[in-house]
A and B are shown apart, each in its own frame.
Chain A
Amino acid sequence: MDSFKRAQIIVGATFLVFTLVGLPASAQSDFAGEWLDLGHEDIEVDRRGGAVYGDYTGLPINEAARMRGETYDASVFSLPEWQCRPHGVDFMPFGASELRVWKEVDPVTQEFIAWRMHWLRSARDRLMYMDDRPHPPEHAPLAWEGFSTAHWEGNMLVVHTTHMKEDYLRRNGISRSSLATMTEFLFVHGDYLTWTVVIDDPPYLDEPLIRNMSYVRLPQQQLPAYPCPVVVEEVREKGFVPHFMPGEHPYLDEYGEKIGVPPELLRGGAQTLYPEYRERLKELWPEGFEY
């Protein structure tokens, strides 16, 4: 083989490699279809009747977020303004809602614009834009579904979300602010979808909150409509907002007493997420000591 042919092969191989690396993003993975969330252990904490008062375990919250929880009255959900609130975009993957995903394409050019997602309890559909469009300016409206742009890193979809309405991190008053941003990592492997959510919320979190959920494909799934009428649940004085005074929440320690653990253990905080906290636990909870 003469040197020119060798060069042609090298160039051809180089071109092939670069071409493959530069394949259109849409060729990476296909999320389209019906998905059922697998729930995991979080389903008991974050869904069904919602979390119990005072249990903030696993949440890297600060004092301000803790105070939101410690003055929270679940009766606020009975107000007309909140009866039909959906889960926010960061809670939705953990909200025991079946999911449908499909592609949004430009009807003229067939160009892939976004992944469109509909959960059973969605407000509007969620869109993850793949076309490099900018996020809206600061004063644009917030949405339960936020505003998301996404790109591929290998076969993992990386999603960046802003403009999220304030929502709960846990349904016992622990809130995530509207100033938060979110990064998600979605990865399909066979019939399973792994969904990792990282929330940055400096007003209420000392460190990012990281959560995971798994979905499994369920092609025969049909999502029904999920309407929500507002009704008068309780006749109240106009403008009444249920809440407890700081330091006067009557049910805050109930859960700790029920399961017999030190109150501090349930109050969350970044320090409780690290192995070093086991030393503190030994002080709080000496062997053989019962709360």
Chain B
Amino acid sequence: MRRQPHNRTNRVWLARVTWLMAVPLVLCFWNPAYALEPQSDDDQFYVWPVQGNVYILVGAGGNITLSVGKDGVLMVDTGVAEMSDRVLARVRELSRQLDPSGPTRPIRYIINTHLDEDHMGGNSAIVESDFFRPLGGGEQVIAHDNVVLRMIDAPERPAPSAVPTHTYLEGQHRVNRFFNGEGVQVIHMPAAHSDGDSIVYFRYSDVISTGDIIAVDRYPVIDLEQGGSIQGLLDGINSIIDLIFPEFRSQGGTMVVPGHGRISDLTEVAYYRDMVTMIRDRIRNAIEKGMTLEQVKEAGLTLDFDPLYGREPGTTDRFVESVYRSLIEG
């Protein structure tokens, strides 16, 4: 009988002890940083701001550049066909996010930087969608004339909706409206990646979309069959460098959206130019010494840059061969 109150007291303070111990333990180990972030399938497919009105959409083949604003959306390239539904959904979502209470801002223009499937494969699906609503009297799908000529000459006839509706022959084309508060300039880069390359310069946002003239995560592709050349490619890269104003110490200022790889500025473009120039010079030196293509490939003339630009199997050989052939064929 005497022990009962004591036992009850023990139980009471044990309960208190347990509770009091739990408080600091919870306080010490509860940390939002430990919370698992939801896994997303969008690690490789996402939109990221570049500068001003301009965004990059990554993960649909080649990079897609977007100008989004009060006039709607201008797309530079459309990615691969298989990703068109996701691209359209993401562009629609972005357009709405940037002005949730405003009117719908659909896609008004498409500009194709060149012919490749990973850059214009989505043309048809986007042009045929209800979110593509060109402005009256304006262009719709813009590209250099050589892009259309090569599409027409291709053995497989393209869908009519895939073909650019407005082409230009001279050195440049200016989009005929001041779009989202800025001029948009389409500049031809002759005989670079191909003979139909355009870069797109957003004059107020100060962003250049380069297509495959620059692809900072890989060696460039020089499509000799489509009119590309190593010298044209280097001329194109150096022309882009001439357009760039860095903010300070070769960084910032004019931003560049390459055909593949990350958003860049003067530094990345200059590194890329240096690499392409050095390899061009080495291969030209080897040709002058009488080396064959096979000997050049075996000489390891790109060994120092392969870990950066030759990570995908076959890309190094393809690049060396195209430079060699371009130099030989003049």
Give me the interface of A with B, judged by CB distance under 8 Å. Answer: 3-4, 7, 10-11, 14-15, 18-19, 21-22, 63-65, 67-68, 71, 76, 79, 81-82, 84-86, 123-124, 132, 136-144, 165-166, 177-179, 202-204, 228, 238-241, 243, 245-246
Do the beta carbons of A18 and B304 come within 8 Å of each other?
no
Do the beta carbons of A14 and B21 come within 8 Å of each other?
yes
Do the beta carbons of B281 and A243 come within 8 Å of each other?
yes
Q: Is the interface of A mostly helix, strand, loop or mixed?
A: loop
B33 within 8 A of A: yes
Known: A3-B13, A64-B306, A140-B48. A76 touches B274 (CB 8 A): yes
Residues of chain B contacted by A239 (CB below 8 angstroms): 234-235, 238, 273, 277
Query: How many Å lie between the Cα of A211 and that of B262 in the bound state?
Result: 29
Do the beta carbons of B303 and A67 come within 8 Å of each other?
yes
Query: How many Å lie between the Cα of A287 and that of B52 in the bound state?
Result: 67
Query: How many Å lie between the Cα of A124 and that of B24 in the bound state?
Result: 42
CB nearest to B264 among chain A residues: A141
Query: How many Å lie between the Cα of A126 and that of B241 in the bound state?
Result: 26
Query: How many Å lie between the Cα of A179 and that of B28 in the bound state?
Result: 36
Known contacts A79-B270, A178-B268, A239-B234; 8 further A-B pairs (Cβ under 8 A)? A7-B16, A71-B278, A85-B267, A124-B248, A137-B48, A139-B58, A165-B267, A166-B271
CB nearest to A81 among chain B residues: B270
Residues of chain A contacted by B264 (CB below 8 angstroms): 141-142
Contacts across chains A and B counted by CB atoms under 8 Å: 130
CB nearest to A84 among chain B residues: B249
Do the beta carbons of B249 and A82 come within 8 Å of each other?
no
Do the beta carbons of B238 and A238 come within 8 Å of each other?
yes
- State how many angstroms separate the Cβ of B218 from the closest Cβ of chain A: 13
Do the beta carbons of B307 and A82 come within 8 Å of each other?
no
Which 3 pairs from chain A and chain B are nearest by CB?
A: A203-B307, A67-B304, A81-B270
Query: How many Å lie between the Cα of A62 and that of B198 in the bound state?
Result: 38
Do the beta carbons of A11 and B17 come within 8 Å of each other?
yes
Do the beta carbons of B301 and A246 come within 8 Å of each other?
yes
Give me the interface of B with A, judged by CB distance under 8 Å. Answer: 9-10, 13, 16-17, 20-21, 23-25, 27-28, 32-33, 43, 46, 48, 56, 58, 63, 234-235, 238, 241, 248-252, 255, 261-268, 270-271, 273-274, 277-278, 281-282, 285, 301, 303-308
Residues of chain B contacted by A246 (CB below 8 angstroms): 282, 301
Residues of chain B contacted by A139 (CB below 8 angstroms): 48, 56, 58, 63, 261-263
Do the beta carbons of B249 and A123 come within 8 Å of each other?
yes
Do the beta carbons of A82 and B270 come within 8 Å of each other?
yes
Do the beta carbons of B285 and A245 come within 8 Å of each other?
yes
CB nearest to B20 among chain A residues: A11
Do the beta carbons of B28 and A144 come within 8 Å of each other?
no
Do the beta carbons of B273 and A132 come within 8 Å of each other?
no
Residues of chain B contacted by A85 (CB below 8 angstroms): 249-250, 267
Query: How many Å lie between the Cα of A132 and that of B304 in the bound state?
Result: 36
Residues of chain A contacted by B241 (CB below 8 angstroms): 81
Query: How many Å lie between the Cα of A143 and that of B25 in the bound state?
Result: 41
Do the beta carbons of A3 and B10 come within 8 Å of each other?
yes
CB nearest to A226 among chain B residues: B249
Do the beta carbons of B285 and A4 come within 8 Å of each other?
no
Query: How many Å lie between the Cα of A225 and that of B50 in the bound state?
Result: 29
Q: List, sorted by A's number, 10 A–B pairs whose CB atoms are closer than 8 Å.
A: A10-B17, A64-B305, A123-B251, A137-B48, A139-B263, A141-B263, A144-B267, A238-B238, A239-B277, A241-B278
Do the beta carbons of A140 and B270 come within 8 Å of each other?
no
Query: How many Å lie between the Cα of A68 and that of B305 in the bound state?
Result: 8
Residues of chain A contacted by B25 (CB below 8 angstroms): 18
Query: How many Å lie between the Cα of A64 and that of B305 in the bound state?
Result: 7
Residues of chain A contacted by B58 (CB below 8 angstroms): 137-139
